[in-house]
Amino acid sequence: MEITPAHYTVLSAALFTIGVIGVLVRRNIIIIFMAIELMLNAVNINLVAHAQQVENLVGQVFVVFVIAVAAAEAAVGLGIILAFYRNKETVNIDEMNVMRW
């Protein structure tokens, strides 16, 4: 059976869903960040697969940008986590509610 972009898309959707579930279910914010990385990767798989299919490298170009954004997000996000951890001694997202009403 030939592998079509549809296969990749479904794989990507599944990976994305796992990421979404991680974001929604886990309470450790570091793991939530990792789930977000999974989601970004799902998107990347999609982009690369379709780039190959349409024989156009633009999709890959955008993967490069996604990776750059992911790096920036990880750096800043983890910086915030560390700063938060220093003040509150926790990384539980349920306890991060000081900005609530």
Partner 1 sequence: MDLIWLIPVLPGIGAALNGLLGIRYFSKPVAAAIACATMGGALLLSIFAFAQLLGAEHREHVVTLAHWIPPIPLQTVDGLGAFEAPWAFRLDPLSGMMILIVSGIGFLIHLYSSSYMDHEPRGGYVRFFCYLNLFCFFMLTLVLGSTFLVMFVGWEGVGLCSYLLIGFWYHKKSAADAGKKAFVVNRVGDFGFVLGVFLIFFTFGTIDFREVAEAASQMPVESAAFGVLSTICLLLFVGAVGKSAQIPLYVWLPDAMEGPTPVSALIHAATMVTAGVYMVGRNAVLFSHAPMVMTIVAVVGGVTALMAATIGLVQTDIKKVLAYSTVSQLGYMFLATGVGAFGAGAFHLMTHAFFKALLFLGSGSVIHAMNDEQDMQKMGNMKLYMPTTFITMFVGALAIAGVPGLSGFFSKDEILAKTFVASPWLWGLAVVTAGMTAFYMFRLIFMTFFGEYRGPKWGGDAEGQADGDHAAAADDHGHDGAHVWHGPHESPKLMTVPLMILAVGAAVAGYVGIPPIIGDFVGVGNAIEHFLEPSFVAESAALAEEGEHAVAHLSHVVEFGLMAFSVLIAGLGIALAYHLYVRRPKRAVELAENWAGAHRVLTNKYYVDEAYNSTVIKGTMGSARGLWAVDRNVVDGAVNGAGWLTRALSWVSHVLDKYVVDGLVNLAAWICAEGSYIFRRGQTGLIQNYAVATLFGVFACATAFLVVRFMG
Partner 2 sequence: MAETIVFYTLSVLILGLAILVVTAKNAVHSVVALVMTFLCVAALYVVLEAEFLAVIQILVYAGGIVVLYLFVVMLVNLGRSPEEHQDPRRLSVFGLGLAGAMLLEVAGIVVYSYNRSASTVTAPAAASPVQGNTQELGWLLYTDYLIPFELASVLLLVAMVGAIVLAKRDL
Partner 3 sequence: MATESAAMFDTDELVLNMGPQHPSTHGVLRLVLRLDGERVKDVDVVMGYVHRGIEKLSENRDWTQIILLTDRMDYVAAATNNLGYCETVEKLMEVEVPRRARYIRTILAELQRIASHCLWLGTHAMDIGAMTVFLYAFRERELILDLFEEYCGARLTYNSMRIGGLPLDLPSGWDDKARAFCDIMDSKVAEYEELLTNNRIWLERTRGIGVISGADAIALGLCGPPLRGSAVNRDVRKDEPYAAYDEFDFDIPIGTRGDTYDRYLIRLEEFRQSIRIIRQALDGLPEGPVMGKVPRLLKPKAGETYHAIESPKGELGYFIVSDGRATNPYRFRVRPPSFCNLQGLRPLVIGHLVADVVALIGTIDVVLGEVDR
Contacting partner 2 within 29-88 (CB under 8 A) = 29-31, 33-35, 37-38, 41, 44-45, 48-49, 51-58, 60-61, 63-65, 67-76, 78-83, 85-86
Give the span between the Cα atoms of 28 and 70, in whole angstroms. Answer: 19
Cβ 1 to partner 3, closest distance in Å? 42
Residue 86 as a binder of partner 3 (CB under 8 A): the answer is yes
Are 22 and 39 a contacting pair, CB within 8 Å? no
Site string for partner 3, 32-71 (x = CB under 8 A): ---------------------------------------x
Among partner 2, partner 1, partner 3, none, partner that 88 touches (CB below 5 to 8 angstroms by kind): none
Contacts of 31 (CB under 8 A, 6+ apart): 22
Residue 72's identity, in one-letter code, is A
Question: If DSSP states are collapsed to H, E and C, what string results for 35-84?
Answer: HHHHHHHHHHHHHHHHHHHCCCCHHHHHHHHHHHHHHHHHHHHHHHHHHH
Contacting partner 1 within 11-30 (CB under 8 A) = 20, 23-25
